[in-house]
Amino acid sequence: MTLLPLIQHYGYVGVFVGTFLEGETILLAAAYAAHRGYLDPPLVAALALTGCFLGDQTFFWIGRRWGNRLLTKFPGLAPRIARMDALLNRHHLPIIMIMRFLYGLRIAGPIAIGMSRLGGLRFLCLNLLSAVAWTTVIGAAGYGLGAGTLYLLSDVTRYDERLLMAILGAGLVFRVVAKWRSLRTSPHGLACMPVTLSTRFHQFVLAQCPDASCRAQWAAGSISTAIGIVALHHLSGSHPAFFILLLLPTLMATLRLGLVPGLAIAIFGAGLMLWSDLRMASTASPLMLIFNAGLRLSVFVLITWGAWKIVDLSRMLHALSHTDSLTQLGNHRAFMSRGEEEIQRARRGALPLTVLFIDLDNFKSVNDTYGHDAGDALLKKVAKVLGARLRHSDFAARLGGDEFGVILYATEGSGAHVVAEQIHGDLRASFKISGHPVSASIGAVTFREAPERFDEALKQADALMYEVKRSSKDAILHREILTPNGVCHD
């Protein structure tokens, strides 16, 4: 199939999806195609306006609801958010109006505005005006390109496909070059790109909604998206390409809410689309429309089930690779990953951070005297003590052998020392009950200002733990780092 039939069949879907994200190139090509008669100009304009308006509204509310969490998961957004914050502080109103024309800020811009104190209603009004301006300017440029080629070339029809491919190709090349330059200017950008993409996939797929409020928001968003897609399907005269878009809310619900909600959204969307087709049907048999709806629903169910199986397998593999099988605590990989997240959170919010390194004294003698089963039972008791003493926001992991690590979120020096004393006391009591000659040496370090990297913090806690083992064992050594240049006190 050549490009022009693809544009005629799927062009409207492409306009909506493209403008929802970053769609200057898509809108230019669509406006050119509309001038040449391959697409309907009013429908292209309406879809482009709707897509860019809904896209920025979505990213605005994402920033308002999950802005800080996004910066923790995707630190690469931080420079763009900072750039947008600086622009907003100096030029509040004009920046919102021209935000879509600033390359690289189309998604980061609304997120940054959502994290600011700008009112939601005010942004909605400004966003609507900005969407109208952006659609008019970019659409007029594409429409004008069509008029210009018609003026310059007498037989322009034979060049339509080549010109459209040139527009789309130029936009693709521009994006690839811009991405390449950004990766080259970031340290280890190209080398880390496969790891980054894999990490971002897991962060999205594995983060199911933790509470009822989150689930309600995603359910409402999936239902609203399905209704919006069916409305566009109805307005376009029952265009067959729109049913593919119903996969978007179906997969949204499946990934975030589970298999049953995903199937429910699929049935809901297919039912709405069948209702739309029946309302507009003039010559088609209702039985044929119902049969087509059943086929569509079967496709949705198969894709939804397959996506859920992939997600389920990904979550299982993630749990296996980040969980210590004996104690069910995090493992070393999970500890380092969580530590880097906490470092970023502490630096962004100017919060203190405490790291504990726990090593069991004389643990080898338990394995040698009583066997490895007794040693495993002792390690499970340590995990139970840590789980009972720590908060939900804290994190504990078995780093290997008889070594454990703890991260205390936003805990300053005095509070960290109290927690370390409580953990040490609980462990001592547990070891006494078991009758084994084991104790715990704990190194604890509290940072008033978080270091650049988490491994630096862990090394300092590890060094303090070894100081305890070299001196008396069965004790705590806590040090508080007051300034980034290393001023501290015990």
Number of domains in the chain: 3
| Residue 37, in any domain of the structure | yes
| Residue 326, in any domain of the structure | no
* Residues 435 and 479 occupy one common structural domain: yes
* Residues 351 and 430 occupy one common structural domain: yes
Could you tell me the pTM of the whole model?
0.52
pLDDT band for 317, please (50, 70, 90 cuts): confident
The CATH number assigned to the domain holding 337 equals 3.30.70.270
Range with the poorest average pLDDT among 177-191, 226-240, 242-256, 322-336? 177-191
Q: Tokens standing for 268? A: 């809901």
Q: Which residues are catalytic?
A: 402
Quick: pLDDT tens for 180-223: 555 444 444 444 444 344 444 445 445 556 567 777 878 888 88
For residue 295, count CB atoms less than 10 angstroms from its CB and return exposed for 0-12, middle for 13-18, buried for 19 or more.
Answer: exposed
Q: Is 25 in a helix, a strand, or coil?
A: helix
On the question of pLDDT at 3 being above 50, the answer is yes
pLDDT band for 327, please (50, 70, 90 cuts): very high
* Residues 367 and 397 occupy one common structural domain: yes
- What sign for the dihedral angle of Cα 327, 332, 337, 340? positive
* Residues 170 and 250 occupy one common structural domain: no
Nearest to 433 by CA among 468, 371, 367, 384: 384
Q: How much is the mean pLDDT over the chain?
A: 80
Give residue 212's domain range. Answer: 194-321
- At which of 155, 186, 217 does a domain end? 186
Task: Give the integer Cα–Cα distance in Å for 70 and 111.
Answer: 9
Strand partners, 397: 330, 405
Task: Give the integer Cα–Cα distance in Å for 199 and 461.
Answer: 27
* Residues 161 and 126 occupy one common structural domain: yes
Q: Tokens standing for 35? A: 């001038």
* Residues 272 and 150 occupy one common structural domain: no
* Residues 176 and 199 occupy one common structural domain: no
Quick: pLDDT tens for 36-76: 888 888 898 899 899 888 888 888 888 887 776 666 666 66
- At which of 142, 168, 186 does a domain end? 186
